[in-house]
Chains A and B, each alone.
Chain A
């Protein structure tokens, strides 16, 4: 698989609050490792954007968004702690970058997702139209 994508690739970081169990020195070490990792990618022009998310928030669901609930975001291993938008064209390159992230050793997992400028609903509509054409051919 070697998918080209000029919209870039998104890394989504998730983990529990692993850093709360580390000593001050250990945290300092991971931070400088992570900073080195980020600075190197940035110097190579591979980073388009990125932010950390606060470990709080709300979830809106239900018709008309009537249901508004709190997290949980703090303790959850699934919660997204931040993202990085990479200016790289292939999923493979994004995976290679993700694999060098220093926080993986502490239980962070990184989701790598190609960014698209076409809504998935459009893609789906196009695919089903194509399938219908094939079925009728």
Chain B
């Protein structure tokens, strides 16, 4: 897979559960490695943004706009943070994801191409293209 994408890629770090199983020394080690990794990518111009997210938050859903709690703290699926990468191919984004220091401890990294426009708007164009074909 070598999809070119000039809009860049987003890395989503999944899983907040693995953090709690680390010893204080391991936590320090992973934190240092993570900071070094991000700094290197920033210096190389490959990371343009990145932030951790708090292990709390809310979810709004449904027609009645119901507000509910996480769970974010110990969830395997919860997103713990993200990087925005300015790289042109999926292969390069995946190779960067493979350097994530959390991987040996059970973290997972989702690699997603950033879209040029909203997928809903793209959908709107499809029937139009079909009609003129």
Interface residues of A (CB under 8 A from B): 5, 7, 10, 12, 17, 19-20, 24, 27-28, 30-31, 34, 49, 51-66, 68, 73, 78, 80-83, 91, 95, 98-99, 101, 104-105, 107-125, 128
Dominant secondary structure at the B interface = mixed
Interface residues of B (CB under 8 A from A): 1, 5, 7, 10, 12, 14, 16, 19-20, 22, 24, 27-28, 30-31, 34-35, 49, 51-63, 65, 67, 72, 77, 79-82, 90, 94, 97-100, 103-104, 107-115, 117-121, 123-124, 127
Instruction: Give the CA-CA distance A124 to B41 in the complex, in Å.
Output: 25
Least CB distance, A8 to chain B, in whole angstroms: 9
A128 touches which of B12, B16, B24, B63 (Cβ 8 Å): B24
27 contacts between A and B (CB under 8 A): A19-B120, A24-B127, A34-B118, A52-B115, A53-B113, A54-B114, A55-B119, A56-B112, A59-B108, A60-B108, A64-B98, A80-B12, A83-B82, A95-B58, A109-B59, A111-B58, A111-B79, A112-B59, A114-B56, A118-B52, A119-B34, A119-B35, A120-B52, A120-B80, A121-B22, A121-B27, A123-B55
- Whether B60 pairs with A59 at a CB distance below 8 angstroms is no
- Whether A60 pairs with B27 at a CB distance below 8 angstroms is no
B100 touches which of A49, A60, A114 (Cβ 8 Å): A60
Least CB distance, B95 to chain A, in whole angstroms: 9
Which of A34, A58, A63, A122 counts the most B-chain CB atoms under 10 A from its CB? Answer: A58
Report if A65-B109 is in contact (Cβ < 8 Å); known contacts: A51-B114, A53-B114, A112-B60.
yes
